[in-house]
Structure 1
Amino acid sequence: MTTIVDTFSEIRDDFDAYIGDIVYATMTTVDSKGRPRARVLIPVWEHVDGHPVGWLATYKTPVKAAHLAGNPHTTFSYWTPRQNAVNVDTVAEWVDDAETKRHVWRLYAETSPPGAGYDLGRFWREGPSDPGLHVLRLSPWRVQVIRGTDLRSRIWKSA
């Protein structure tokens, strides 16, 4: 059974709990021929004005950069063997300013939600100013949360 919810707050608790439990997301992009490409990453999420906002500290690889330049729409899928799942459809954009990089660095350090963050210094030794650190802002336009015990699906869409 699928229910469309009016506000993100109606699914926020399950969104945070499932992502905090699952941690790793499969990010899917498409190439110029419309072929999907998946990779496993760990984005972090915060809530701004009642909406989820995602951040991904990542390397700006040629493949990822080309895919997002051609089509900025991405999907992040979380799944656990208990059948709990979260699917987040987003528009991704590169953000390069120093203030945002420091903010994202803090979010990963503070594990938002609990369990999903990690020490970015393991990959970018110079901290938020490391030239190899790139940040994607993830603006969700659709979020689906599925509870595994009864396969109840709830979907929120941004206005």
Structure 2
Amino acid sequence: MATKVSTFAEVRDEFEAYIGDIVYATMTTVDKKGRPRARVLIPIWEEVDGRPVGWLATYRTPVKEAHLAGNPHTTFSYWTPRQNAVAVDTVAEWVDGPDVRKRVWDLYSKTSPKGAGYELGQFWKGPDDPKLHILKLEPWRVQVIRGRDLRSRIWQE
């Protein structure tokens, strides 16, 4: 049974530890017929005013763009064979502008939580690369599951 918590701070340490360990998340969106589509990506997370906020450096593919235009809700799932898991339910929004691109580029370089970022230069020439697109992820629910005893805690707006 899951325990609901009232603040993100109550799950933050496990959230950061598990994401830093797992790194890769399965991002799920749905098409206009309600069918799910998953892809593996690496979002970066930070805390702003006591809430998690995610950023995803990505390619703006026709499928991803169409899915999010039809339904901006998406889930990011992290899992390790030790059964530690994190599920982050978000509303995703394409954002742009030189300040946002530079900020997200720097966040990935700083890898916060530790270990969860990477050098975006492996895929893009720099923050001004026209192929680099940014999704802002506004979580409304975060579930953290500890594998050794399957303790589950949920923060939800």
Distance in 2, Cα, partners of 1:77 & 1:40: 9
Partner of 2:127, secondary structure, is: helix
* 1:108 Cα deviation after fit: 0.3
Question: Which position in structure 1 is the counterpart of 2:132?
Answer: 133
C-alpha distance in 2, partners of 1:11/1:121? Answer: 32
Determine whether 1:99 maps to 2:99.
yes
Structure 1 residue 64 displacement after superposition: 0.2
Q: Match of 1:121, SS?
A: helix
What are the within-5 Å matches in structure 2 for residues 1-12 of structure 1?
A: 1-12=1-12
Q: Distance in 2 between matches of 1:110 and 1:48?
A: 16
Return the offset for 1:57.
Answer: 0.0
The whole-number CA distance in structure 1 between the counterparts of 2:115 and 2:139 is: 21
User: Which residue is 1:73 aligned to?
Assistant: 73
**Matched residue of 2:83: which SS?**
coil
Q: Distance in 1 between matches of 2:47 and 2:97?
A: 20
Structure 2 gaps of 5+ residues are: none
1:24-76 CA-partner distances (Å, limit 9, x unpaired) = 00000000000000000000000000000000000000000000000000000
One-letter code of the match for 1:154? R
> Residue 47 of structure 1 corresponds to which residue in structure 2?
47
Cα shift readout 1:109-134 (whole Å, capped 9, x = no counterpart)? 00011111111011001x10000000
Partner Cα distance (2:147, 2:35) in 1: 29
Letter in 2 for 1:49: D
Aligned: 1:148 with 2:139: no
- C-alpha deviation, 1:97, in angstroms: 1.1
Give the AA of the match of 1:134.
H
Identity of aligned residues (%): 77
Tell me how many residue pairs correspond in the alignment. Answer: 157
Q: Matched residues in 1 for 2:43 and 2:86: separation? A: 13
Q: Spell out structure 1 runs of 4+ moving beyond 2 A.
A: none
Distance 1:7 1:117 in 2: 25
Q: TM-score, normalised by structure 2?
A: 0.99
Map of 2:118 onto structure 1: 118
Q: Which amino acid aligns with 2:49?
A: D
Letter of the aligned partner of 1:13 in structure 2? Answer: D
Aligned partners of 1:14, 1:122: CA distance in 2, in Å? Answer: 29
Distance of 1:49 and 1:101 partners within structure 2:
21
